[in-house]
Amino acid sequence: MSRASLLAAVLTLVTATAGVRAGAQVVTESPFRCDMSMLSADTIARKDTIGASLAKKELGHSPLPTGYEFRFPGDAATISDVAEWIVTERLCCPFFDFDLSLAREGGTLALRLTGRPGTKAFIEADFTRWMK
């Protein structure tokens, strides 16, 4: 194989690989909707129960450029509930970025829900019980 043929083959491979990577990235972006089919009926009920409990415990929220930060008490039960809620929420709403922060000395828990453009508007429409 000549050097020119080898270079052309490598260039073709690199171009094809770049196209697959770019295409795969676009395909994996989920729409802004909760896909509840990803959860069993029992999991949906548990997620709703935890969500209602967290809404009552919420200490406040603040807007972020691409989402919101929600603050909760930093006790063990609330931390466990938030973690369990995240596990199920990321199945039905995979477009969220989740960031948890616990303040030192038993301080508050901060849950940041962010994501790509459009995430903040989704939160404003879908999280009304947390946005009291």
Q: Which phi-psi region, left, alpha or beta, contains residue 73 (left: φ > 0; alpha: ψ -120 to 50)?
A: beta
65: which DSSP letter?
Answer: T
What is the mean predicted confidence (pLDDT) over 42-55?
94
Write the pLDDT tens digit of every residue in 81-126: 999 999 999 999 999 999 999 999 999 999 999 999 999 999 999 8
What is the mean predicted confidence (pLDDT) over 51-57?
95
Pair of tokens at residue 44: 């949906």
pLDDT of 21 reads 47
Weakest mean pLDDT among 10-14, 61-65, 70-74: 10-14
- The CATH number of the domain covering residues in 33-126: 3.30.1360
pLDDT of 23 reads 47
- CB of 113 closer than 8 Å to CB of 97: yes
Q: Where are the domains of the chain?
A: 1-30, 33-126
pTM of this prediction? 0.76
